[in-house]
Structure 1
C-alpha cells in the first residue's frame, strides 16, 4: 500500500511540474523545441490527471494514517 502511496506522490509532483503555467513546458530546459508544445486539450488532460493523482495521494494518506489497512 505504501508503494502505491509513494508512486502517487511522485506522479503528482511530476504532473504539477509539467503543468506549471509559467514555464514553457520542457522546451524551456534546453532548446525551444516544439516537441513538447501543449494544446488546450493536452493541458486539460494534464490537469485532470493531476487532480486524480492528488486525490489518490490524499485518500491514501488518510487511509495509511488511520491504520485501516495494516
Structure 2
C-alpha cells in the first residue's frame, strides 16, 4: 500500500464523516437532540453541540488539506 493510497483512504473516510456530521446538525440548533433523544455521552445538549461543531470543523480542515495535497500530486 503506497502513501498515496493511504492518504486517499483517509480522504474518503473524512468525506464520509463530514456527510454524517453535517446531517447530524439541526437547522434549528437542536443538534443531536433531534435524533429522538438526548446524547447520554454528554452532560448537556450544549456540550454535545459544541463537540459536534469542533469535530465537524476538524474534519473539514483535514478534508480540504488532503484535497489540496492530492490534487497537487505532491505525494506522487
TM-score by length of 2: 0.73
Q: What is the aligned length?
A: 64
Correspondence for 1:25 among 23, 34, 43: 34
Structure 2: gaps (5+ residues): 1-6
TM-score by length of 1: 0.78
The answer (yes or no) to whether the contact 2:38–2:45 under 8 Å persists in 1 is no
After superposition, give the CA deviation of every residue in 1:11-55 in whole Å (9 maximum; x if it has no partner).
01101101123465222xxxxxx2548600100100000000011
For the aligned residue pairs, the C-alpha RMSD in angstroms reads 1.9
Structure 1 residue aligned with 2:68: 62
Q: Which runs of 4+ in 1 moved over 4 A?
A: 35-38
Structure 1: gaps (5+ residues): 28-33
Structure-2 separation of matches of 1:8 and 1:63: 14
